[in-house]
Amino acid sequence: MLRSMADSKTKPPTKPSDERRTYGLVSIAVPCERVTRPVFGKHGFAGGALVVDWPAIVGSAVASHTLPLSIKFPPKERSEGTLVVKVDSGAFALEMQHLEPLIVERINGYFGWKAVARLRLRQGPLPEAATAKPAPAPAPTAKPPAAGRLAQVEDPELRAVLERLGRRLAESRP
């Protein structure tokens, strides 16, 4: 009894902020979960892993037409829930009905327990993914800098490739 009291007096009490403090490099997943958990938790997603890893779970073909919205579990349960999935078209909703057993199996395999028992589909437009716009084609220049040397190249395909390379290099120089 005396020993435990002495130990408690010698150890300084830890501050709650000490637990959150990190030193050195930390993976972005560590602090990110603290931010995303409250937002995803409102929709039944514990850490948002299902939303983030959705393309890896169901495949890119299915993920391009679907988006998981929420998981609704029975009262006081955390298993055999209903996953609400937004589908972009009625035709793909029909396809999703046929793929439901496979998708539920993949989701449960991802979690490692029977998290989802069935899917509920909602039809509507999906948010547009941010797509990178292609760079505009460079304006052709009159002659590449090494035009005299290129005339010596006999192969026309090789000459055209070297011409394009010369233009690109000339454009990239300030």
Parent domain of 149: 143-174
Instruction: Return d(Cα 118, Cα 122) in angstroms, integer.
Output: 13
Domain shared by 112 and 152, yes or no: no
For 1, residues 6+ apart whose C-beta sits below 8 A from its C-beta are: none
The pLDDT-based confidence of 93 (bands split at 50, 70, 90) is very high
Domain shared by 76 and 153, yes or no: no
- pTM for the whole thing? 0.50
Question: Considering the domain boundaries, does residue 138 fall inside one?
Answer: no
Domain shared by 65 and 94, yes or no: yes
Q: Which CATH number fits the domain that encloses residue 92?
A: 3.30.300
Question: Bigger pLDDT: 115 or 135?
Answer: 115
Question: Bigger pLDDT: 56 or 4?
Answer: 56
Looking at this protein, which amino acid is placed at residue 111? F
Question: Considering the domain boundaries, does residue 13 fall inside one?
Answer: no
Domain shared by 155 and 95, yes or no: no
Question: Considering the domain boundaries, does residue 21 fall inside one?
Answer: no
Q: How many domains does the chain have?
A: 2
Domain shared by 119 and 148, yes or no: no
